[in-house]
């Protein structure tokens, strides 16, 4: 048995290290390294996809909120348009009604804020003057006008609203 020498041990260890360094050139180790790199890349892609999905969900939620706001605005615009159409028709009706001089002449009906004509709207001034307290009160309420006072007060309020000028 020979004596161990540090020089010989160092030389043998250097040779072993050189051989180990060549292991990465072996096909099996190269494939393992490539597989590990692919696994790492796939994990990174998966992480990125998860972040993208989270961002897309936030964007989708924002779009839903915007659509909801737009629907509410569209509803408001429709109501506003309906009110404007009713106001325009009412202006024309008041001009026509301001020329009524006799009880038998037809009254041009005014529209409510929702652009409808009340079902109990009187046809003529004679019909309006024949309406009961309840009928006048109902008609004032449909036009969202004050309903208090005597029957004569209510009729005057309704005549003024309709644009009918009585001398």
Domain ranges of the chain: 6-87, 90-162
pLDDT tens digits, 78-128: 999 999 999 999 999 999 999 998 999 999 999 998 889 999 999 999 999
CA distance to 3, 45, 96, 123, per residue, from 118 (Å): 122, 67, 18, 11
Q: At what angle do helices 151-162 and 133-142 cross, to 10 degrees?
A: 40
Here the tokens at position 44 are 């990174």
DSSP state of 143: T
Answer for the pair 146, 157: CB distance below 8 angstroms, yes or no.
Answer: yes
Residue 44 burial (C-beta neighbours within 10 Å; 0-12, 13-18, 19+): exposed
Q: Which pTM was predicted?
A: 0.60
Q: Just give the CATH number of 90-162.
A: 1.10.720
Q: How confident is the model over 6-31, as a mean pLDDT?
A: 74
pLDDT tens digits, 41-82: 889 889 998 999 999 999 999 999 999 999 999 999 999 999
Q: Within a 10 A sphere around the Cβ of 137, how many other Cβ atoms?
A: 18
């Amino acid at each position: 048995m020979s004596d161990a020498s540090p020089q010989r041990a160092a030389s043998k260890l250097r040779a072993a290290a050189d051989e180990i360094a060549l292991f990465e050139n072996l096909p099996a180790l190269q494939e393992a390294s490539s597989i590990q790199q692919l696994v790492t890349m796939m994990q990174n892609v998966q992480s990125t996809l998860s972040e993208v999905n989270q961002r897309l969900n936030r964007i989708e939620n924002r779009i839903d909120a915007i659509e909801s706001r737009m629907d509410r605005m569209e509803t408001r615009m429709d109501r506003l348009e309906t009110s404007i159409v009713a106001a325009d028709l009412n202006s024309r009706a008041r001009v026509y009604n301001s020329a009524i001089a006799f009880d038998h002449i037809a009254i041009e009906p005014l529209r409510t804020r929702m652009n409808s004509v009340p079902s109990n709207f009187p046809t003529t001034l004679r019909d309006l003057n024949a309406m009961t307290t309840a009928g006048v009160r109902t008609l004032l309420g449909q036009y969202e006008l004050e309903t208090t006072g005597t029957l004569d007060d209510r009729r005057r309020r309704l005549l003024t609203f309709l644009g009918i000028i009585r001398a």
